[in-house]
Amino acid sequence: MNNPYLLLTPGPLSTSDTVREAMLKDWCTWDKDYNELVQEIRARLLALAAPGSDKYTAVLMQGSGTFSVESVISSVIPRAGGRLFVACNGAYGERIAEMAAILNIPVLVYRENEQTMLNPDTIDKLLKQNPDITHLAVVHCETTTGMLNPIEDICRTAKKHGIVSIIDAMSSFGGIPIDIESLQIDFLISSANKCIQGVPGFGFILAKKSELEKCKGYARSLSLDLYAQYETMEEHEGKWRFTSPTHVVRAFHQALKELEAEGGIKARNMRYTENQNKLVLGMKELGFHALLRKENQSPIITAFLYPEVQSFTFTSFYGKLKKQGFVIYPGKISEKDTFRIGTIGEVYPEDIDRLLTAVAAVSKDAEKQLI
């Protein structure tokens, strides 16, 4: 089941043969065995995020990760008296602000430059100036650049003001340790096809029960009603309200077992960090410089500046690397020309070595063509 290339992206990402093999069996959404599998997934997610706690629940939601984010935004903010604060420094924070605008949710947006970490002191000041804020949303790992935002301080600031916290941990949960109970996170959102190393098809929300149970009747969508999904999964022991992506769920269950076998989130974080460190050092030797400072950088994905060579085009670079067996990502920031390389998924330091060899060969070939 070898793939023709390695996905070096923030998700979908390269998965193991055994995760892909898990999708070869068909499942019935009403079957007891399948619903028990869903319940086990929910329990395993809680064990990763809040071990030993009974204050949280896990809710699975069909669709891409963005569907799960919109499920939370549209379901947890009251229709009367709710106001959302969005702290953003990239495209995914902006997407949350856009959701709120489309849903007619009053929103205040605090923006930083895409290369600047969010400032908890500025957030504190803005919350003091806007006491009607009820909810705060922030992206943990902003994959626009690879920026890792300081959710520890941001969550403490939110709780100081009595505000409900919504953390988009789409690209970080499973690859970076997050203790949601100690941070008093109310809603954390992630997806099957990120650091857990499953395949696309559903996301999940880890929610504080006391906050989620306040949300009945708040939803602005039928299919994305987070409380209704939670209520159905609780009352019917793992059943989804509408048809669930059964093959994807089965693959995710296998991916969770493989995360545990690897040594859990800490071990996976060590592998991702080694991948990313090796990548940045190797790319620098080849003339490619990371956009962000090391202290702001996540181990998830890295943005690189275009080299100062007139002949460089991303399209050509991408195509030649793909022929060598590697798929990378275009840039997403507005101010500088960049491309991105992910270091998550079924990717190991020896894969990064192979990539660097390929980049060196592609760069050398480009130099020859100029002579």
Question: Domain spans of the chain?
Answer: 6-10+264-370, 17-261
- Tens of pLDDT along the chain (371 residues) come to 466 889 999 889 999 999 999 999 999 998 999 999 999 999 999 999 999 899 999 999 999 999 999 999 999 999 999 999 999 999 999 999 999 999 999 999 999 999 999 999 999 999 999 999 999 999 999 999 999 999 999 999 999 999 999 999 999 999 999 999 999 999 999 999 999 999 999 999 999 999 999 999 999 999 999 999 999 999 999 999 999 999 999 999 999 999 999 999 999 999 999 999 999 999 999 999 999 999 999 999 999 999 987 778 999 999 999 999 999 999 877 678 999 999 999 999 999 999 999 999 998 765 655 44
What was the pLDDT predicted at 264?
97
What was the pLDDT predicted at 312?
87
Quickly list DSSP for 123-158.
HHHHHHH-TT--EEEEESEETTTTEE--HHHHHHHH
Fold designation for 6-10+264-370: Aspartate Aminotransferase, domain 1 (3.90.1150)
Cβ-based neighbour number of residue 253 at 10 Å? 18
Architecture of domain 17-261: 3-Layer(aba) Sandwich (3.40)
**Residue linked to tokens 């203790």:** 179
d(CA 135, CA 68): 17
Q: What is the spatial order of strands in the sheet that 301-305 belongs to?
A: 301-305, 338-342, 329-330
Q: State phi, psi for 301 to the nearest 5 degrees.
A: -155, 150
Q: Would you call 150 exposed, middle or buried from its count of C-beta atoms within 10 A (0-12, 13-18, 19+)?
A: middle
pTM over 0.85: yes
d(CA 264, CA 246): 24
Domains 6-10+264-370 and 17-261 share a fold: no
What was the pLDDT predicted at 169?
98
